[in-house]
Amino acid sequence: MDNLEKLSLKQIQYFTAVAEFGSFRQAAFRLNITQPTLSNQVAALEKTLKVQLFERSRKGINTTAQGRELLQGARRILEEAQGFATQAAMLSGGGMGIYRLGVTPTLGPYLLPHILSPIHARYTDLKLYVREDPPSDLETGLINGQHDLILSTQPIMSNELVVAPLFREPLKLALAMDHRLAGKTRINRMDLLGEPVLTVTEHHLFHRQITELCERVGAVVRRDYEGTSLDTLRQMVVMGMGVAFLPALYVKSEIRDSKELRVTDVEGINVVRNHALVWRNTSPARNFYKELASQIQEIVESELGDVVMPAARLRPGKKSKPGKA
């Protein structure tokens, strides 16, 4: 009981932050506190628990075996505390708190500008700490508690997660204005036979999707020139290094008035990305996340219905199955 009275949520938060970032300096920066304050609080927690949480050396720090054993419990405590505060805020009509939102680099920058302002207008005290990662890292990070919820591309495979489909996003063919197909009124899948196709690096789920598409139509993926982002991919297309399939939201954001590229559909090809809001099925804030997913669906239908295909609104009380569109 004496040890319990000495514990604080802040100390547990500091412990998880250092473990996540692997650095007292980076954790202190993220927490907006001084490094000595962070070090002192972690040392006080270690003294209270009578357990060494971190192994310190000149090369940096590592979480000890005992620390790793306690880390999941620490994350659960913080999540329960956040859920408790969120429930109280919703009951009182007050603030919502801070949530860690993970997004994919090929979706977040082109979707968030359309949805964040309306969400903020509805939930004025909701704060979203946004972090970009590839879909596979997002799913792992969500399961491990590094994110509270994620905006990601399906499929999502884990049974520990709830998947709320948001919308389907078509992919558009982009080619340089001096490309042999640029002047053709209609481009069909047979036109792509043997065509060099550019894509992003293979750690993106988007890369796998384009590779599978090329296999179906007989196009050739240019593995010697892979883009690190959609912007670099676009620039390589402009320079005539190949054609590329680009997400419709990126096209809307970055290429609307471009005189350098022709962006079009390909007859006989109907390829889309399925996007969803995802959270842990044990999260105390899961009812709020379901409400938030519904709000995003409404915003997408209203603001982006001409670009993407909004998913059918979830019926109240219906739970999405993991990995399903």
Check which CATH number belongs to the domain holding 245 and give it.
3.40.190.10
| β-bridge pairing 261-264 and 309-310 | unpaired
* Exposure string over 162-179, b if 16+ CB within 10 A, otherwise e: bbbbbbbbbbbbbbbeeb
> Is the same domain home to 161 and 282?
yes
> Is the same domain home to 186 and 263?
yes
92: which 2 tokens?
């009182």
pLDDT at residue 141 in the model? 87
CATH number of the domain enclosing 66: 1.10.10.10
**Contact residues for 262 (Cβ-Cβ < 8 A; gap 6+):** 174, 175, 176, 177, 179, 182
At 313, the pLDDT band (50, 70, 90 cuts) reads very low
pLDDT at residue 114 in the model? 94
pLDDT at residue 312 in the model? 63
**Contact residues for 74 (Cβ-Cβ < 8 A; gap 6+):** 12, 15, 16
Helices marked H in the chain — which ranges? 2-6, 9-21, 24-31, 35-49, 65-92, 108-122, 135-143, 205-217, 230-238, 248-254, 286-304
Of 76, 102, 119, at which residue does a domain stop? 76
> Is the same domain home to 97 and 58?
no
DSSP one-letter code for 93? T
pTM above 0.75, yes or no: no
pLDDT at residue 214 in the model? 86
CA–CA separation, 173 vs 113, rounded Å? 24
Asked if the structure places residue 55 within a domain, the reply is: yes
Whether 299 contacts 115, CB under 8 Å: yes
pLDDT at residue 159 in the model? 87
Q: Which of 267, 293, 134, 144 is nearest to 201 (CA)?
A: 134
pLDDT at residue 78 in the model? 85
pLDDT at residue 111 in the model? 94
Asked if the structure places residue 321 within a domain, the reply is: no
> Is the same domain home to 277 and 162?
yes
pLDDT at residue 21 in the model? 86
Q: What is the pLDDT of residues 163-187, one digit of tens each?
A: 999 999 999 999 999 999 988 889 9
Q: How many domains does the chain have?
A: 3
DSSP 110-169: HHHHHHHHHHHHHSTTEEEEEEE--HHHHHHHHHTTS-SEEEEESP---TTEEEEEEEEE
pLDDT at residue 125 in the model? 79
Bigger pLDDT: 127 vs 315: 127
Q: Cα 303 to the chain's mean position, in Å?
A: 21
- The domain of 253 spans 170-272
> Is the same domain home to 235 and 191?
yes
> Is the same domain home to 225 and 105?
no
Residue 100's CB is within 10 A of a number of other CB atoms, namely: 18
Asked if the structure places residue 315 within a domain, the reply is: no
311 residue type, one letter: A
> Is the same domain home to 101 and 156?
yes
Of 53, 76, 99, at which residue does a domain stop? 76
Of 17, 51, 76, at which residue does a domain stop? 76
pLDDT at residue 113 in the model? 93
Q: Is the pLDDT of residue 95 over 70?
A: no
Q: Is the pLDDT of residue 50 over 80?
A: yes
At 123, the pLDDT band (50, 70, 90 cuts) reads confident
Asked if the structure places residue 320 within a domain, the reply is: no
Q: Is the pLDDT of residue 308 over 70?
A: yes
Bigger pLDDT: 88 vs 215: 215
